Amino acid sequence: MAVLADSNDNELKQLQDGGEGFTVPETNSFGQTFRDYDVESERQKGVEEFYRTQHINQTCDFVKRMREEYGKLNRVEMSIWECCELLNEFVDESDPDLDEPQIEHLLQTAEAIRKDYPNEDWLHLTGLIHDLGKVLLHPDFGELPQWAVVGDTFPVGCAFDESIVHHKYFKENPDYNNPAFNAKYGAYSEGCGLDNVFMSWGHDDYMYLVAKENKTTLPSAGLFIIRYHSFYALHRADAYKHLMNEEDIENLKWLKIFNKYDLYSKSKVRVDVEKVKPYYLSLIEKYFPEKLRW
Ligand SMILES: O[C@H]1[C@H](O)[C@@H](O)[C@H](O)[C@@H](O)[C@H]1O
Ligand SMILES: [Fe+2]
Ligand SMILES: [Fe+2]
């Protein structure tokens, strides 16, 4: 694995061609520190409003209904690459660090991983597909509102951890005052495994269902990354450890590695799609059927 170099001139250094490793930039494409949810800016106001709506509406009941409905996978048939192309038209309103179309972010993430982990092809592909669930924003998928698709995720059915961004807005969530759901364990038990935990509904859980039900051959760490990559309370703040089992603990190591590339590869530097496409098509063929049910 390549050594990380310190650098200020992030946009120039990162994601350049050549054999060097991936360089973690100090500032995002707006010149601010990454994931600063308290900075004063127009974009941040939108982000805060996004989290207010998300926190109020993501209830246990809502999550169960969405899982059931979207778990049917009866909406569209398409390949992984076709889905990447669909994402071209969407910008994520929850993201304080990036306002580029999503396909850029997919390729930036995958290419950054590839620099430091050239032999882990499953991790490159995980990078490429981790956000494909954002296709839920598309009219063919019911055009879900942003609060039901993007943003950080968290468990529902137990207490909302204080480390979740803009935690204060949970006060208006009906589950917040429900004794069955507002205790440390709530509907769960010690070490029950994250697989048994309902996560707020969005692109992560949806893409996890799509990959699993279409019988991907990605390793369990790949599926884990897809389902929990937005679960910052877990992989950043070390909250909710009491719900994890042995396998979760193993997989969390890969998720922490992955997060570095997911977060810090966000930049205005474009990836040459046509150039890298053949490589990713070969990975898709290796780990997925040609057409998937969505
Ligand atoms: O705003 C971002 C974005 O929606 C990402 O796709 C998600 O994974 C992050 O957790 C979130 O903070
Ligand atoms: Fe994401
Ligand atoms: Fe992402």
Which ligand places an atom closest to the C-alpha of 97?
Answer: 1
Of 22, 29, 230, 25, which is closest to residue 111 (Cα–Cα)? 22
pTM: 0.93
Task: Provide ipTM, 2 decimals.
Answer: 0.96
Calculate how far, in angstroms, residue 178's C-alpha sits from the geometric centre of ligand 3.
32
3-state secondary structure of 155: strand
Minimum-distance ligand 1 atom for the alpha carbon of 150: 4
Tell me the angle at which helices 273-287 and 102-116 cross, rounded to the nearest 10 degrees: 80
CB-CB contact of 277 with 285 (8 Å)? no
User: pLDDT truncated to tens, each residue of the chain (294 aa)?
Assistant: 333 333 333 433 444 444 589 999 999 988 899 999 999 888 899 999 999 999 999 999 999 999 999 999 999 999 999 999 999 889 999 999 988 888 889 999 999 999 999 999 999 999 999 999 999 999 999 999 999 999 999 999 999 999 999 999 999 999 999 999 999 999 999 999 999 999 999 999 999 999 999 999 999 999 999 999 999 999 999 999 999 999 999 999 999 999 999 999 998 888 999 999 999 999 999 999 999 999
Cα angle 150, 154, 155 (rounded to 5 degrees) comes to: 130
Report the nearest atom of ligand 1 relative to the CA of 94: 1
Please name every residue paired with 293 in a beta bridge, in sequence order, or none if there are none: 77
Pocket of ligand 1 from Cβ distances under 6 Å: 92, 94-95, 131, 150-152, 229-230, 232
Q: Among all chains, which residue has been given the structure tokens 């601010």? A: 32
The pLDDT of residue 19 is 58
